[in-house]
Amino acid sequence: MNQLVYLRTFLDAYRSGSLTRAANRLGITQPAASAHIQSLEAAFGKTLFTRQARGVAPTAAADELARSIAPHLDALEASLDVLKLWPGSVEGTVHLAGPVEFLSARLVPAILSLQGQGLKFRLQTGNRDRVRTLLNEGAVDLAVTTSKPDETTHGHVEIGRERLLLVASPETARQIKGRSLTAALLGDLPCLAYDEHLPLVREFVQTVFGEPPLYQAVVTAPDLRLLANALTVGTGWSVLPDYLAADYLASGRMVELPTIRPGPENLLYLVWNKGTMRNPRVAYVRDHIVAAATQRSPED
């Protein structure tokens, strides 16, 4: 039995790159986690990790061991977790992270129904890099991202997709009418973007027009909802995901600009550190979110 515990500690340390994080996730002390690794190294006669200034780095022997045991150990824990889910056992707090716009429009409505089961939620928002950092550091249990994660360390499931739309205020659409769209966008019409690097805008322009955007944004805001609202009260254009733009387009407060080819689509993933799924509460919330995403109609 001890060997299974030691292997679980090893796999958590391997995936997180840190004995401290592995210990925190397992509810043991860092010295205990270190002792587990030392016991395995003594049993196998091989060094599994090299200590670094921040965390640990796996050796070739660790890579081989992880490949051998991970599928079996994960499957065993998943089977045991099902047995833990008796009524009332999911009470507690679940930490989630993702883009604020998606959390607001899609995820929060999906989890509100779980409040009556004693569940509490703590949400954190940010861009792709911040969400990835929060997940890797174990600060959150579940995260939504458009980046497919490393399958060695993370579990994931596709929960939808977003199509990027080129949108503008009605006034800007009138100014562009009859003109070359490419020339108009490269001209003096104000661009609104998430930040100075023009995320979404850059992706759309490169995909649809085949060239990088060389202009600067007139307005930046780390919340696409602010950009959407700004378009409705002034001039300008931007690129927004379809789920965020839908209500604005339906009410006529925003206009989609026609392009020769459609904008790119991004897959949306629900991601978790594999060790997190030993907590039945997190597994329960994950399954609820996935079921809610599956039930959404394609038009939503």
Which string of DSSP letters, residue by residue, matches the chain?
A: -HHHHHHHHHHHHHHHT-HHHHHHHHTS-HHHHHHHHHHHHHHHTS--EEE-SSSEEE-HHHHHHHHHHHHHHHHHHHHHHHHH--TTTT-EEEEEEE-HHHIIIIIHHHHGGGGGGTEEEEEEE--HHHHHHHHHTTS-SEEEESSPPPTTTEEEEEEEEEEEEEEE-HHHHHHHTTS-HHHHHHTTSPBEESSTT-TTHHHHHHHHHSS---S--SEE-S-HHHHHHHHHHS--EEEEEHHHHHHHHHHTSSEEPP-SSPPPEEEEEEEEEGGGGGSHHHHHHHHHHHHHHHHS-TT-
Give the pLDDT of residue 183.
62
CATH architecture of 2-84: Orthogonal Bundle (1.10)
Percentage of the chain lying above the pLDDT 70 cut: 90
Give the pLDDT of residue 204.
93
Give the pLDDT of residue 87.
47
pTM for the whole structure:
0.73
Which has more pLDDT, 165 or 114? Answer: 165
The set of residues, in sequence order, having a beta carbon less than 8 Å from that of 67 and lying 6+ positions away, is none
Give the pLDDT of residue 25.
76
Q: Does residue 185 register a pLDDT over 80?
A: no
Percentage of the chain lying above the pLDDT 90 cut: 39
Which has more pLDDT, 81 or 42? Answer: 42
Give the pLDDT of residue 207.
92
Residue intervals in the chain for CATH 3.40.190.10 = 92-159+266-295, 162-265
CATH topology of domain 92-159+266-295: D-Maltodextrin-Binding Protein; domain 2 (3.40.190)
User: Bridge partners of 268?
Assistant: 160
Give the pLDDT of residue 83.
52
What average pLDDT does range 43-55 have in this prediction? 88
What average pLDDT does range 201-215 have in this prediction? 88
Give the pLDDT of residue 221.
93
Give residue 82's pLDDT band: very low, low, confident or very high (50, 70, 90): low
Residue 70 identity: A
Question: What homologous superfamily is domain 162-265 in, according to CATH?
Answer: Periplasmic binding protein-like II (3.40.190.10)
Q: How far apart are the C-alpha atoms of 65 and 61, rounded to whole Å?
A: 6
What average pLDDT does range 205-218 have in this prediction? 87
What average pLDDT does range 167-192 have in this prediction? 78
What average pLDDT does range 57-66 have in this prediction? 90
Burial degree of 68 (CB within 10 A; 0-12, 13-18, 19+): exposed
Considering the chain, what is the average pLDDT of its residues? 85
Residue intervals in the chain for CATH 1.10.10.10 = 2-84
Which has more pLDDT, 182 or 196? Answer: 196
Give the pLDDT of residue 186.
56
Give the pLDDT of residue 297.
47
For residue range 91-141, what is the model confidence (pLDDT) as tens digits? 889 999 999 999 999 999 999 888 878 889 999 998 888 998 998 888 899
Q: Does residue 225 register a pLDDT over 60?
A: yes
